[in-house]
Amino acid sequence: MSTATLTIDLDAICANWRALDGQSTGETAAVVKADAYGLGADRAARALARAGARTFFVAVAEEGAALREALGPGPVINVFSGHMPGDADMIGDMDLVPMLNSLDQMIRHVEALPGRPFGVQLDSGMNRLGMEPAEWAATREVALGQSPTLLMSHLACADEPDHPMNRQQLDCFRDMTADTGVPLCFANTGGVLLGPDYHFDMTRPGIGLYGGRPFEEARPVVTLDLPVIQCRDLEPGETVGYANSFTAQRPTRIATVAAGYADGIHRAMAATTHMLAEGTPCPLAGRISMDLISVDVTDLGYDPKSLQLLGPEQGVDVLADNAGTIGYEILTALGPRYARRYLGG
Ligand SMILES: *Cc1c(COP(=O)(O)O)cnc(C)c1O
């Protein structure tokens, strides 16, 4: 195998969805934006639909249109960015539900697509998307008169259970949605874990489905195996890679694997990351290049055919910590050069 292989366990995604669904009091939707966090929205969403998910969320209408092609009619596809200029045909033809973020978007939607479904996104304090309390107060009667399918808001600090922002946003969301009679949706993965106060009628986890923090009990979803292109022996004092960033302290065996930072393997993780040969960790040697990584396999005693970067032993969040980032960024950065192989589903 000459290309690196990203293996995605669809059964694990579905098991994670079921586990979060089991903790939620209402319906559990699935967030599949950014190609299901880089793992393949078509495959992930089809598997989740078979597992029982009836509602999906995407970031923009284009993603929703592609998802509709994959899922066919039936499942609800909600769009976080709402109704953007030029989106009316796509929203109408592909049966998407925009989460309207402003009075402008609401006017655009009801003028272009009268009678077609929409939700409303409310800003409960994150100050990123949605109507703020004053705008909502002025829009509320008109909006409710058009029968929105959902009122939603988003938590800024849900992965920190003790953060006072959670309760503050909850109070704000409750105030804004009181006596509306419209289904409510508030919780991402972190919100589900905050408990039933945060669940309302529908939850919408993303990262937890794909095996990332803060859903610590998640089943691992991805493994990444990188083929070894070449192995070589180094004498003590010889160096490896750009800037001579590794110097052999002893007779050393170096394996070079076919992937690099252009494939989403952040340079910053090099110092603390290992690659595994059938479970045995081997340290990286020097810098991560664009398409290549050098690995010290001296202690292995044999030349491996491939080395594993991501898997059950070294998960998404370990790599995230090593790179000084979050699991979301590790997943969404996984590049287009990998052969994607799907298990289960
Ligand atoms: C991405 C996103 C989610 C999913 O969040 P996770 O932390 O991945 O569970 C939910 N709601 C909104 C508005 C989002 O942008």
pLDDT band at 2 (very low <50, low <70, confident <90, very high): low
- Nearest-atom index, ligand 1, CA of 204: 10
pLDDT band at 70 (very low <50, low <70, confident <90, very high): very high
84 annotated to a ligand binding site: no
Question: For residue range 174-199, what is the model confidence (pLDDT) as tens digits?
Answer: 999 999 999 999 999 999 999 999 99
The answer, as to whether pTM is greater than 0.85, is: yes
154 lines ligand 1 (CB under 6 A): yes
Segment 101-108 mean pLDDT: 97
Q: How crowded is residue 295: how many other Cβ atoms within 10 Å of its Cβ?
A: 28
Q: Which of left, alpha, beta for 246 (phi over 0: left; psi -120 to 50: alpha)?
A: beta
Distance CA 80, CA 113 (A): 18
The closest residue, in CA terms, to atom 4 on ligand 1 is 206
Nearest to 289 by CA among 245, 238, 228: 245
For ligand 1, mutation pick of 80, 193, 317, 331 (most atoms within 8 Å of CB):
80
Asked whether the domain spanning 222-343 has the same topology as the one spanning 10-210, the reply is no
Instruction: Report CA(206)–ligand 1 centroid distance (Å).
Output: 6
Joined tokens for residue 120? 């409303």
pLDDT for position 345: 82
Distance CA 174, CA 122 (A): 11
pLDDT band at 333 (very low <50, low <70, confident <90, very high): very high
In this structure, the strands spanning 280-283 and 55-58 are unpaired
Instruction: Report CA(302)–ligand 1 centroid distance (Å).
Output: 44
Distance CA 211, CA 208 (A): 5
The closest residue, in CA terms, to atom 3 on ligand 1 is 188
For ligand 1, mutation pick of 173, 188, 332 (most atoms within 8 Å of CB):
188
191 lines ligand 1 (CB under 6 A): no
Instruction: Report CA(269)–ligand 1 centroid distance (Å).
Output: 25
For ligand 1, mutation pick of 57, 120, 122 (most atoms within 8 Å of CB):
57
Tell me: pLDDT of 1 over 80: no
Catalytic residue positions, numbered: 33, 242
For the chain, domain boundaries? 10-210, 222-343
Cβ atoms 315, 12 nearer than 8 A: no
Which residues are within 8 A (CB) of 273 and not within 5 positions of it... i.e. 6 or more apart?
284, 309, 314, 319, 322
DSSP 8-state code for residue 208: G
Question: For residue range 5-41, what is the model confidence (pLDDT) as tens digits?
Answer: 999 999 999 999 999 999 999 999 999 999 999 999 9
- Whether the bond between 214 and the residue before it is cis, its omega within 30 degrees of 0, is yes
Tell me: pLDDT of 74 over 60: yes
266 lines ligand 1 (CB under 6 A): no
CATH class as words, domain 10-210: alpha beta
- Nearest-atom index, ligand 1, CA of 207: 8
Cβ atoms 57, 33 nearer than 8 A: yes
Q: Considering the chain, what is the average pLDDT of its residues?
A: 97
- Nearest-atom index, ligand 1, CA of 31: 4
Nearest to 32 by CA among 19, 45, 43: 45
Nearest to 10 by CA among 304, 239, 234, 221: 221
Considering the domain 222-343 in this protein, what is its CATH number?
A: 2.40.37.10
Which residues are within 8 A (CB) of 202 and not within 5 positions of it... i.e. 6 or more apart?
26, 27, 28, 29, 55, 150, 183, 184, 185
Please identify which residue in the block is written with the tokens 């925009």: 98
1 annotated to a ligand binding site: no
65 lines ligand 1 (CB under 6 A): no
Please identify which residue in the block is written with the tokens 């039933």: 196
